[in-house]
Amino acid sequence: MTNGSVPPPPLGVEGKRRGPARAVLASLVVPGAPSFMRRKFLSSMLLLFGVLVPLAAAVVGVVRRDRITSLVLDSTVLRVIQVICAVFVLTRLVAVIEVINARRAGTRQRLAAFVAVVGLLVVAFPAGYSVVRADQLNEVINKVFVTSGSSDPISAIAGDATDDDYQTILLLGGDEGPGRWALRTDTMILVSIHKSSGRVAMVSIPRNLRGVRFPEGSPMHDEFSKGFKDLTNAIYPYVYAHPDVAARYLRGDLAPEAVALVTGLSYSLDVTIDDYVLVNMQGFLEIVDALGGVTVNLDKKIPMPGNVPGAKHPYPPTIGPGEVKLDGTLALGYVRSRAADSDYRRMGRQRDLLERLAAQTSGTDVLRNFPQLADIAKENVRTSLTPDEFAFLVDRLRSGTNIQESAGLTPPLINPGRPDWEVAANLIDSLQDAIATGVKFPFA
C-alpha cells in the first residue's frame, strides 16, 4: 500500500473481491447475497422479499394446485401476486445498484451496468406480464360474475327446510352464435351439491318440457297463468323479446331472461335454485379445446349433426364405436346429435360428457390453460355465482367421484309433453336424498 491508498473492503460472502459483472448476476439471482458482509440489514430484507416471499408463494401455488381455481378467482390473491411481482423486480434493482456503486472498476463497471440492464429486463418482462394478466383476470371476474346485490337464492321455495343442506345451480347451454336470434337454452342441467359430503346429483331438463308454471304475482304468471305455452327452451328468448316482461325480472346485473327461467323451473319442480351458469355454444367448444379435449367410450356409432357455427373443422359422418378423443368441435357434435337415438338420450350424453370432462381435468390443466380459459369465459360465460362459489362448483365437478347421481326428466319417469310436476318434484327430492345418504338412486 503506497501513496496513502486504502485497500478496498472485502466483498461477497466469501470475503473475496469478485468482478462486478459476476456480482450483478449474483444479485439478479439472489438479491442481497453479494452485499451481505457489507450491509446485513439491507441484504436480509432483499433476501426476504426478493427470494423467500416469492418462493413461498410458488410453494403455496404448487401445494394448492387442485384448488387453483379459487386462488386465481380471488381478487385479493391477484393483488398480492401483483405486489409480489413488483417487489420481485424492485429488490433486484436495489441489489444491482448497490453492487455497482460499491464496485467502481472503469470498463468493468460499464460491463456490469450492461449486464444489469439486460438482466433487469429479463426479470421484469415475466413479472410485468403477470401483473397485466392479473389485471385482466380481475376484469374477467367483474364481467363473468354478475350479481343481484343479494346473497339470497334466485328462487327459494317457501318452507324448504333443506335449503341450507344443498347448493343447487342451473347450468344453461345456449345456442347463441352467428346467424342465430337471441338464445335458446337447449341444454339445461340442474346440479345439486350436498354441502357437507360434496356429493353431486345432476338432473337434465328436456328442452321440449311443456307447461312450465310460474308463481302467482310474477310477470310470467300474468302472461301464462296456466303454464308456458311453448317449449321450456323458448322461455329465455320470449323474455328477451318482451322488454316489458324483462324489466320486471331485473335483479341487479343478472340477466332477466335467466331469472325468469330459474323462477319458473324452481316453482314447477318445487326446488330452491340458488344460482345459474350460462355458457353459449361457442364457449363450450373453445373450453374443451383449451383443456386438450376429452375422451369418451362409445358402444355404437354416433352420427354427427350439420356443421355448427364456429366449428373449427367439418364433421365426419360418424364417430365411434370404441374410445374416441373429442376436440371441442366433435364434443359439441356429440352432445347435439339427435340422429343417433333421441332427444332424451342426447341429454344423457350431455351429462356423460360433463362428467368425463370434469373427471379428466386436473388442477394443473386449469392452471396451465387458465389465461386462455379466462379469455373464453369473458366472452361466453355469465353466472350469478360468486367467484368462491364458482370455484367450489368447479372443484366438486372436477372430482369425478363426487358426481354420484344422474337422471333426466324423461320417459318413462316424466312425460315432457304433459309433465306431472309432483312426480318430477319427488324425483328431484329422491336424488337429493340419495346424495345426502349415499344410497344409490334406483333410476339413475
Taking the model in full, what pTM does it have?
Answer: 0.78
Binned at pLDDT 50, 70 and 90, residue 48 comes out as: very high
Binned at pLDDT 50, 70 and 90, residue 263 comes out as: very high
Q: What is the pLDDT of residues 321-336, one digit of tens each?
A: 999 999 999 998 888 8
Q: Cell digits for 243?
A: 322488454
Q: Is residue 14 over pLDDT 50? A: no
Q: Are 228 and 264 in contact (CB under 8 A)?
A: yes
Binned at pLDDT 50, 70 and 90, residue 415 comes out as: very high
Q: Cell digits for 179?
A: 346467424
- State how far the alpha carbon of 329 is from the alpha carbons of 254, 285, 353, 373, in Å: 29, 6, 13, 16
Q: Is residue 2 over pLDDT 50? A: no
User: Tell me, what's the pLDDT at 321?
Assistant: 92
Q: 188 by DSSP, 3-state: which? A: strand
Q: Cell digits for 66?
A: 387442485
Q: Is residue 224 over pLDDT 90? A: yes
Beta strands in 128-183 (DSSP E): 166-174
Q: What is the pLDDT of residues 164-205, one digit of tens each?
A: 789 999 999 887 654 444 688 988 999 999 988 888 888 989
Q: What is the pLDDT of residues 349-394, one digit of tens each?
A: 888 888 788 778 876 777 778 778 888 888 888 999 988 888 878 7
Mean pLDDT for the chain overall: 84
User: Tell me, what's the pLDDT at 423?
Assistant: 94
Position 400, amino acid = G
User: Tell me, what's the pLDDT at 400?
Assistant: 53
Strands 322-326 and 275-280: unpaired
Which residue, 383, 393, 440, is CA-closest to 195? 393
- Read off the pLDDT of each residue in 337-343 and give the average, rounded to a whole number: 69
CATH code for the structural domain at 163-437: 3.40.630.190
Q: Are 23 and 109 in contact (CB under 8 A)?
A: no
Cβ neighbour number for residue 161 with a 10 Å cutoff: 7
Q: Is residue 159 over pLDDT 80? A: no
Write down the domain spans for the chain. 20-144, 163-437
CB-count exposure of residue 138 (10 Å: 0-12, 13-18, 19+): middle
355 Cβ partners below 8 Å, 6+ apart? 202, 397, 400, 403, 406
Preceding omega of 321 cis (within 30 degrees of 0): yes
Binned at pLDDT 50, 70 and 90, residue 231 comes out as: very high
Instruction: Give the Cα-Cα-Cα angle 96, 101, 103 (nearest 5 degrees).
Output: 95
Q: Is residue 343 over pLDDT 70? A: no
Q: Which of 263-272, 348-357, 418-427 has the lowest mean pLDDT?
A: 348-357
- Read off the pLDDT of each residue in 284-300 and give the average, rounded to a whole number: 90
Integer Cα distance of 35 and 13 in angstroms: 7
For cell 304475482, the residue is 217
- Read off the pLDDT of each residue in 250-277 and give the average, rounded to a whole number: 95
Binned at pLDDT 50, 70 and 90, residue 140 comes out as: confident
For cell 456503486, the residue is 101
Q: Is residue 246 over pLDDT 60? A: yes
Binned at pLDDT 50, 70 and 90, residue 148 comes out as: confident
Cβ neighbour number for residue 242 with a 10 Å cutoff: 16
Q: Are 136 and 374 in contact (CB under 8 A)?
A: yes
